Amino acid sequence: MTATTDHLFLRACRRQPVERTPVWMMRQAGRYLPSYREVRSRSSFLEMCRTPALACEVTLQPIDQLGFDAAILFSDILITLPAMGLEVAFPEAGPKIQAPVRTAAGIDALVVPDPEQEVGYVMEAVRQIRRALQNRVPLIGFAGAPFTMATYAVEGGGSKDYPHTKALLFGDPASAHRLLDKLARTCAVYLEAQVAAGAQAVQIFDSWAGILSPRDFREYALRHTKTVISMLRASPTFRDGGVPIIYFVNGCAPYLADYADSGADVLGVDWRIDIGTVRRGVGDKVALQGNLDPGVLYASPEEIRARVFEVLRQAGPVGHIFNLGHGVTPATNPEHVRAMVAAVHEYRHDGK
Ligand code: CP3
């Protein structure tokens, strides 16, 4: 086995034996690291995403400073939208799509981009990060799931009730599915390009799928994520099974049986359900990732350690990647993240 396929994180994704549970976390709403804020003070967020050297620098910061067992590419799920025909801005208040798409004609005008041509800087960042990591830990690429991308494209930003999205789903399902299908094909070719450039696992973020009823989760979210996963499985880059696919639904509790059926190797678990309950609900064919409440990091290092141990005990020794139930919040003390990582690295499943 080569060093590349032998990483702790990749073995846990495949439910192979591991000496200890691997840990990493997403810092998307991040900005908790002073070194990130320092780079960010000199460039806009979009400039950072579009400049491979900067993306590389901030991708490595948590690896060098906190000792995670996997790195996640610095970018954003919305980075492909301009290439499809939707301009995006990142003001302080959160991302904004200039002219959201709400009509059949608008949906038909969107294109499935060629990733190397349109967002080649992401693949260049992947190549630079792989060189800089020198195989210390594997690199995770990512994209937004079709449904979550659709909520941004249609709503124009974050939302509480998702009125425009729901009006489209329930008022014009045929157009909604055409939009979701374009987003699924975009997601698949984009993840394929990241893997061809060197990403060793991919995560599909369905951050807002939890706003759907179980039947609509199946129809509008899961169905199109399954398209992405089957396109990936059919591609030569993924065919040998060496690149794990992680699917994360924020708010997965109501959908466990369907969630288990997504075709992903790993399912992300948010903190609103016990990970032991998820294991019993989805069976033993998939690995699980999660699921500490990010808010636990506001507690003392002792409390953090106890809560980390609880998650590890529930998840069991096989097929678990320790993670937060969602991204780390900006006000988190980096020392508390260090306490979390130390606790995961300390824990052993032999009952001691
Ligand atoms: O861990 C990492 O830093 C990996 C890179 C990453 C970012 N965004 C960087 C980012 C990843 C994996 C994402 C994914 C992403 N982006 C998701 C899915 C994950 C999730 O949170 O459920 C979503 C929904 C987005 C859209 C997005 N981008 C939002 C909602 C925001 C604003 C967050 C906030 O609290 O204001 C962003 C901006 C963003 N993406 C930042 C970072 C580091 C902050 C930008 C800044 O420095 O100003």
pLDDT in tens, 237-282: 887 768 999 999 999 999 999 999 999 999 999 999 999 999 999 9
Per residue in 99-155, pLDDT (tens digit) is 999 999 999 999 999 999 999 999 999 999 999 999 999 999 999 999 999 999 999
If you measure from the C-alpha of residue 90 to the centroid of ligand 1, how many angstroms do you get, rounded to a whole number?
10
Mean pLDDT of 57-86: 97
152 tagged catalytic:
yes
Q: Which 3 state secondary structure label does DSSP give 251?
A: coil
Which ligand 1 atom is the nearest neighbour of the CA of 158?
Answer: 30
31 tagged catalytic:
yes
Give the residues surrounding ligand 1 with Cβ less than 6 Å away: 26-31, 40, 45, 72, 74-78, 90, 94-95, 142, 158, 205, 207, 250, 327
40 tagged catalytic:
yes
Rounded Cα gap, residues 269 and 266, in angstroms: 10
Which ligand 1 atom is the nearest neighbour of the CA of 248?
Answer: 22
- Structure confidence at residue 36 as a pLDDT band (50, 70, 90): very high
If you measure from the C-alpha of residue 46 to the centroid of ligand 1, how many angstroms do you get, rounded to a whole number?
11
- Structure confidence at residue 2 as a pLDDT band (50, 70, 90): very low
If you measure from the C-alpha of residue 75 to the centroid of ligand 1, how many angstroms do you get, rounded to a whole number?
8
If you measure from the C-alpha of residue 327 to the centroid of ligand 1, how many angstroms do you get, rounded to a whole number?
8
User: Which domains does the chain carry?
Assistant: 3-346 (3.20.20.210)
Ligand 1, residues 23, 28, 148, 246: which to mutate, most atoms within 8 A of Cβ? 28
Q: CA 200, 249, 64, 116: dihedral to nearest 10 degrees?
A: 50
Nearest CA to ligand 1 atom 34: 29
Statement: residue 352 has pLDDT above 70 = no
Angle in degrees, 0-180, between the axes of helices 52-66 and 34-42, rounded to the nearest 10: 170
Mean pLDDT of the chain: 95
Ligand 1, residues 42, 76, 291: which to mutate, most atoms within 8 A of Cβ? 76
Which ligand 1 atom is the nearest neighbour of the CA of 76?
Answer: 8
Give the pairing of strands 245-249 and 320-324: unpaired
Two structure tokens written together for 46: 């979009």
307 tagged catalytic:
no
Rounded Cα gap, residues 310 and 274, in angstroms: 10
Which regions of 69-200 does DSSP assign to beta strands (E)?
Answer: 71-72, 88-89, 96-97, 139-144
Cut 0.95: pTM above it: yes
Window from 4-18, 32-46, 177-191, 281-295 with minimum mean pLDDT: 4-18
Statement: residue 1 has pLDDT above 50 = no
Rounded Cα gap, residues 46 and 142, in angstroms: 17
* Contact in structure between 85 and 113 (CB atoms under 8 Å): no
Which ligand 1 atom is the nearest neighbour of the CA of 30?
Answer: 43
178 tagged catalytic:
no
- Structure confidence at residue 30 as a pLDDT band (50, 70, 90): low
Q: Which residue is catalytic, options 15, 40, 223, 233?
A: 40
- Using CA of residue 10, residue 14, residue 20, residue 25, what is the dihedral sign? positive
Which regions of the chain does DSSP assign to beta strands (E)?
Answer: 71-72, 88-89, 96-97, 139-144, 201-206, 245-249, 266-268, 287-292, 320-324
* Contact in structure between 25 and 323 (CB atoms under 8 Å): yes
Q: Which residue is catalytic, options 11, 50, 76, 305?
A: 76
* Contact in structure between 294 and 327 (CB atoms under 8 Å): yes
Between residues 129 and 3, the one the model is more confident about: 129
Which ligand 1 atom is the nearest neighbour of the CA of 49?
Answer: 9
- Calculate what percentage of the chain has a pLDDT beyond 70: 97
